[in-house]
Amino acid sequence: MQSRASIERRFRLARSTLFIVWALASMAVVFWSVRAAHDRATVDVLQKAGETLSVQTETLTGVLDKYRLMSPLLSRQSSVASLFIRDGDGNPQALDARHMALELAGMSAAKDVAFLFPDGEILGHAHGAFVEDGVGLHELLEAARQGRLGRMALALPDGERSYAFSSGVRRNGRLVGVVIVYVDFYRVEAAWALSAYPIFVTDRGGTVLLSNQPDWLLKPIGRFKSAAGTEPAFRFGEGLQSRIDLTRNLPLLGWDLHVLADPAPVFAARLSAGTIATLACLIAGLLALIVMRRNENAIFRARSDRATALRLERLVRDRTRALSVTNQSLSREVEVRRTAETRLRKTQAELIQAAKLAALGQMSAALSHEFNQPLAAIRSYADNAVRFLDRGDTGEVAGNLGRINSLIDRMAELSRTLLAFARKPGIITGPVPLGHVVDEALLLARPSARAAGVMIETAESLARFHVEGGRIRLSQVFVNLVNNAVDALTGRGDGCVRIEARADGDMVLVTVSDNGPGIAADEIGQVFDPFFTTKGVGEGIGIGLSIVDNIIRDFGGSIRVFNRDEGGACFEIRLRAAETDSGTDKGAVAAGAG
């Protein structure tokens, strides 16, 4: 087995070799990446600038070709030739010539249209800046005398520029006049202004005639290097900028059209490629170093693992024995917790049942009155029926027996409600008719409310809703809430409890409100806590609202309490709305055991 020192020496030599190889490879990769990025970016810049040069060449030549044909065509028009005929007094038709020049300039968008006699006398023109200044007139007239198409670039001292075409007007082979059309470069330069590249035209003398850079106009251009040069440059006045110059010669005009491409994308591509290649090489070197270091550590770990294998095996055996003991202990603890949870659920169910029976106990006096009253009435109707039988008045006997039957039905309905309320509820939930549940709850709560002088009002909207829940447990909710409100209103002559319902999205919002004193601000957050009560000793144990909160949560709803602005407390219950088959109430029947 190799010693630790020999292994370390071997890896130091490997790291030195790796560094030398990495440095040489990185230089080669960076150089190649920069060169390739430079070539690609240069080709792209030249291609885009070349496309712009071709498009703008066509634009310029197209505009000039349009007006190049205009002067020869006008010179052959008889209406134009007739303008050069003088009247009997030898006066020229200057007014007609001016009107025609204005009309032709307006229709063709030319800068100016001028009519001149062969000796240079002006017959008429549209605007006249170049004609009246006389710039270039001699050359244009001379070309017309020779029968050629005269063409010339013109510039005024104020910077105004134009290109003029001249053609002779002949009658019977004799030159009688000259037509000159001046071209306006405004539309050409306006189109160039949309380009991101500087564009300009120079004449043979190197003067800038047209450009989308206003500061360069009519200024002499400096020197140019070819597009293949490493640092092409040009100079206007005192400014020096590095650009790539693409030039297109226009031989008929004697002009050169230039498009200047910005080499910044080339420099940016070189910098980006160099940066990315350098980072990639650094990452590759770091990865190789990390792999080598991990191999070195793996060898040392393997040596250490072999040395500690026996010790780990002993530790595993000891820990396995301890874990077995712990698992047995945890199994017993889990069983104890399950038993405790079962007992807790049973205790909660018994507590809810005790709360219902307690509520029935509190309402026993009022319910006894509800039973005694119809019993007394039944006794009275029975006695009267005996007397009517003695008299032979069977009609009255039948009426009394009918009233006795209705009283018995009333007592039976109250008994059924009491039995259902006292029965332990199941856990099945389903669609429940809200109005029916509230009616059952009020059947139990109204006697105590009537005894306390409290009026209970229900909204008609209750009958429209079905909610998800259990009928018995939901009835217990409203019994508890109404009884609490009645207790708060006892002793008031105008006590009133109101129950309303309305839709709120996919929920039903039910409110139970009263006009009592409300709940103290420091106690309103505790009303749903178990064993919290504001009643006197012996009047309650404080679990009614806690049970209500648990029942509502079991149904997937929520309950909150707040004091109304006009006085009194309001319990707001949110229950999930239920869908039932039209014309039936199957969901409510299925959930009746709940």
* Annotated domain spans of the chain: 69-184, 189-262, 425-590
Q: What is the distance between the alpha carbons of residues 367 and 451, in angstroms, rounded to a whole number?
A: 10
Mark residue 518 as left, alpha or beta (left: phi above 0; alpha: psi -120 to 50; beta: remaining): left
Which pLDDT score is estimated for 349? 62
With beta carbons less than 8 A apart as the criterion, state whether 30 and 274 touch.
yes
Crossing angle between the packed helical segments 471-489 and 544-554, to the nearest 10 degrees: 150
Which pLDDT score is estimated for 238? 38
511 to 67, 280, 524: CA distances (angstroms): 89, 69, 17
Which CATH code of 3.10.129.10, 2.40.50.140, 3.30.450.20, 2.70.98.50 fits the domain covering 69-184?
3.30.450.20
Q: Which residues contact 36 (CB under 8 A, 6 or more apart)?
A: 273
With beta carbons less than 8 A apart as the criterion, state whether 77 and 310 touch.
no
**CATH code linked to domain 425-590:** 3.30.565.10
Query: What order do you get walking across the sheet with 208-211 strand by strand?
Result: 208-211, 199-202, 255-261, 244-250
Tell me whether strands 430-433 and 466-469 are parallel, antiparallel or unpaired. antiparallel
**CATH code linked to domain 189-262:** 3.30.450.20
Q: What is the DSSP letter of 44?
A: H
Which pLDDT score is estimated for 500? 93
Which pLDDT score is estimated for 236? 43
How big is the chain by its Cα radius of gyration, in Å? 55
Which pLDDT score is estimated for 561? 92
Per-residue pLDDT of the chain (594 residues; tens, 9 = 90+): 566 677 778 878 887 888 898 888 889 888 898 888 888 888 888 888 788 888 888 888 888 878 888 888 888 888 888 888 887 777 888 788 888 888 888 888 888 888 888 888 888 888 777 777 778 888 888 888 888 888 888 877 777 788 888 898 888 888 888 998 888 877 787 778 787 788 888 887 778 878 888 777 777 776 443 333 434 344 443 333 567 778 888 887 778 888 888 777 888 888 888 889 889 888 988 888 888 788 878 877 777 777 788 788 888 888 888 888 888 888 888 888 888 877 876 766 666 666 655 655 655 555 554 565 566 557 666 766 777 777 777 777 777 677 677 657 556 655 655 555 555 555 567 898 998 888 878 877 788 788 888 889 998 888 899 999 888 788 888 888 888 888 888 877 788 999 999 998 899 999 999 988 888 888 888 888 876 676 654 555 667 787 788 888 888 899 999 998 888 899 999 999 987 764 434 333 333 334
Domains 69-184 and 189-262 share a fold: yes
459 to 146, 417, 465, 489, 496: CA distances (angstroms): 111, 22, 12, 20, 13
Tell me whether strands 496-504 and 455-458 are parallel, antiparallel or unpaired. parallel
